Amino acid sequence: MTFPDLIKNLLDSSKERLKTPIVGSFMIAFFFYNWRVLAVLFFSTATIEDRIIVINHEYLVFFSYLWPFVISLFYSIGVPYLMKWIDDRLVSVKNARRKQIYDTKDNTLELKIQLADKELALQDKLSRSKDKQEMLDQIRSLEDLNNELKSNNDLQLKDLTEKLKQSNNIITDLKTKIEEIENMYKMEKNDKKQNYKLFGEIYKTLSELHKANLNKFINRKSFESVEMLKLTTKFINKLVDDRIVRPVGKEIVITDLGLDFSNYGKSLNAELNKIDLK
């Protein structure tokens, strides 16, 4: 074992001994009780031999060790008992103090709980108020939307009603025009039928003229009255004026225009027969 190791072991053992209650308290009590020894040893102006002699004869006596030992023994043994006695005496006080502290904390907690409840109630009220306001806003928005839709529907209904009215007017006008067209068609059909009949009569007359001359036609026994003869003579004069027939001496002959008209009369007579069949 080296010398540094020996010193280290001594220091470690000294530390362990100093940690014991008796040794530590004795050392402290010895230095405090014999403080004059330390003062003479470190601060005296005498020689070291004189200081040692003074310390050995004046201070290092039996009581210099007894009283530090008594003090250390009292500190190590008596002080714990004294502290226990004091603690026993202070138990009720400590309990009362502890109870007071707990009561204070309990009151503080109750106040905090009440405050928290009030804050929660306030937040709940604010939240409900906010929700209520949001619901009112939504209701207003829906009412505005409903009014807008109603207004649009009214406008659309009015527009559709107007269009329906216009459509009914158009339908009425169309029905009127259809009736007018049907009436016109009926009138044209009747006029056409009358024209066909007239052309048929002309065709028959021209056919007769084509077969015989005017004198023979006039002398026919089919004319039973003077009025019929006058009517036939007037009709023939009209045909002469229209250049459908022309007089040749005492006879009346059909012109080329009359022949064309006679051929056209054939087709008209056929149409007339169709109309009669209908």
User: Which tokens is 1 given?
Assistant: 């074992």
pLDDT for residue 72: 78
CB atoms < 10 A from the CB of 186, how many? 10
User: What is the pLDDT, as a whole number, of residue 241?
Assistant: 80
The whole-number pLDDT of residue 141 equals: 86
The token pair that represents 166 in the structure block: 């216009």
Q: Residue 82: which H helix or E strand, with range?
A: helix 79-211
Rounded to an integer, what is the distance from CA 244 to the centroid of its chain?
A: 91
Angle, in degrees to the nearest 10, between helices 35-43 and 21-33: 60
Distance CA 217, CA 137 (A): 108
The CATH topology of domain 187-277 is Arc Repressor Mutant, subunit A (1.10.10)
| Phi, psi of 254, rounded to the nearest 5 degrees | -85, 135
Residue spans of the domains in the chain: they are 3-97, 187-277
For residue 34, the SS3 value is coil
Cβ 198 vs Cβ 269: under 8 Å? no
CA distances from 244 to 27, 206, 258 (A): 178, 9, 4
Instruction: Please report the pLDDT score of residue 152 as a whole number.
Output: 83
pLDDT at position 231, please? 42
Distance between CA atoms of 12 and 23, rounded to whole angstroms?
15
Spatial distance between the Cα atoms of 24 and 72, rounded to a whole number of angstroms? 8
Please name the residues in contact with 265: beta carbons below 8 A apart, sequence gap of 6 or more: 199, 200, 202, 203, 206
- Under-70 pLDDT residues of the chain: 1-24, 57-61, 79, 188-235, 250-252, 262, 265-266, 268-278
For residues 236 and 215, give the distance between their C-alpha atoms in angstroms, rounded to a whole number: 12
**Is the CB of residue 245 less than 8 Å from the CB of residue 259?**
no
Q: Give yes or no for a contact between 44 and 51, defined as CB atoms under 8 angstroms apart.
A: yes
Q: What is the pLDDT of residue 238?
A: 75
